[in-house]
Amino acid sequence: MKSKFPQVALIGKYQTLASGASSASPRGVLEAIADFLHSQGCEVHVERDTARNMGISGHPVLTVPAIGEQCDLCLVVGGDGTMLGIGRQLASYGVPLIGINQGRLGFITDIPFNNFKQSLGPMLRGEYEEDHRSMMQAKVMRDGRCVYDALAMNDVVVNRGASSGMVELKVEVDGRFVASQRADGLIIATPTGSTAYSLSAGGPLLHPSVPGWVLVPIAPHMLSNRPIVLPNATEIVIEVVAGRDASASFDTQSLASLLHGDRIVVTRSQHNVRFLHPKGWSYFDTLRQKLHWNEGVTSP
Q: Write the DSSP assignment of 206-245 as a string of letters.
A: --TTS-EEEEEEES-SSTT---EEEETTS-EEEEEEE-SS
Topology (CATH) of 135-269? Tumour Suppressor Smad4 (2.60.200)
In the chain, list all ranges with CATH 2.60.200.30: 135-269
Number of Cβ atoms within 10 Å of the Cβ of 135:
25
Distance CA 114, CA 179 (A): 49
In the chain, list all ranges with CATH 3.40.50.10330: 7-126
Structure pTM?
Answer: 0.90
Q: What is the pLDDT of residue 124?
A: 96
**What residues in the chain have per-residue pLDDT under 70?**
1, 14-24, 103, 296-300
> Residue 194, by phi and psi: left (phi above 0), alpha (psi -120 to 50) or beta?
alpha
Sign of CA dihedral 230, 82, 123, 72: positive
| pLDDT, mean over the chain | 91
Topology (CATH) of 7-126? Rossmann fold (3.40.50)
Smallest CA-to-CA distance from 13 within 152, 113, 131, 136 is with: 113
Q: What is the pLDDT of residue 162?
A: 79
pLDDT digits (tens, 9 = 90+) for 170-199: 999 999 999 999 999 999 999 999 999 999
Measure Cα distances from 87 to 6, 115, 152, 231, 248 in Å. Answer: 20, 23, 10, 22, 20
Q: Quick one: which H or E segment has residue 284? A: helix 283-290
Q: In what order do the strands lie in the sheet with 155-159?
A: 228-231, 212-218, 185-189, 155-159, 247-250, 254-257
Question: Which residues partner with 275 through β-bridges?
Answer: 97, 131
Q: What is the pLDDT of residue 16?
A: 47
Q: What is the pLDDT of residue 22?
A: 47
Q: What is the pLDDT of residue 196?
A: 94
Burial 213-223 (b: 16+ CB within 10 A, else e): bbbbbbebeee
Active site residue 80: yes
Q: What is the pLDDT of residue 253?
A: 87
* Pair 166, 183: CB distance under 8 Å: yes
Helices then strands, each counted (H, E), the chain: 7, 18
Question: Residue 66 carries which DSSP code?
Answer: H
DSSP notation for 101-128? E-SS--SS--EEGGGHHHHHHHHHTT-E
Catalytic residue among 49, 80, 131, 251: 80
Distance CA 117, CA 32 (A): 10
* Pair 245, 164: CB distance under 8 Å: yes
